[in-house]
Structure 1
Amino acid sequence: MRNQSMIRRTVLAAGLTAAFALIPLSQVAAQDAGANGSMQSSNQTVPDKAADAWITTKVKSEFGTSKAVKATDVSVTTVDGTVSLSGTVGSAQEKLEAVRVAKSVKGVKGVDASGLTVSASATH
């Protein structure tokens, strides 16, 4: 029974990682396609954008496998290695854990959690 639970978690984590990996990479491709006809407002290179997309994906997948952070309630964006978290969490502890998890990802230069709010209904 324990092995089945572990297999389910592993498959779920792999699925989430794959799903999250496709979203940022498609955003980078769309941004690059849109930049062909107009002046780009950012001087970020394609490799930098890809690195930021990878960081975003990795942070989201870490949230997805963490019991302490509800991944569906937290949005993650990365620019020049700085991760910005936004959304609503259930407690101050969950907010701290989200920041800790994001900081632990390789390549993260900093974490901005100013957009992450604690739910008013939190009883902690």
Structure 2
Amino acid sequence: MAGERLYKMPFSKIYPLYVQKVDRKNQNVDDLDKVIYWLTGYDEASLQKQIDKNVTLTEFFDQAPEINPSASLITGVICGVRVENIEDPLMQKIRYLDKLVDEVAKGKKMENILRKQK
């Protein structure tokens, strides 16, 4: 399975890459954390605990307090694939997060990134 290696990757290895991406584009790292909290239901303490425990991406999403019901509003292309068309639920959550990180790095407005209903 194509995603197996990714699924076993520690979130603690991926998070700094997200930070670098956002930082490199001169965006606020706090916004990165906000989108992670929004998508997963983690808060600052529980996110840090997951990083410290070196959980895999699979465990990170399996143990997430609640995937935001508005996550299905995340659409677009990431890694050449439309996120709304990904059939594997775990891969879709990973790509949702990738898409949100991209949007933070691009400086999109937070209300748009968090799919605020009008």
Larger Rg: 1
Shared fold, TM over 0.5: no
Structure with the bigger percentage of strand = 1
Higher relative contact order (CA 8 A, sep 6+): 2
TM-score w.r.t. the length of structure 2 is 0.31
TM-score w.r.t. the length of structure 1 is 0.30
Structure with the bigger percentage of helix = 2
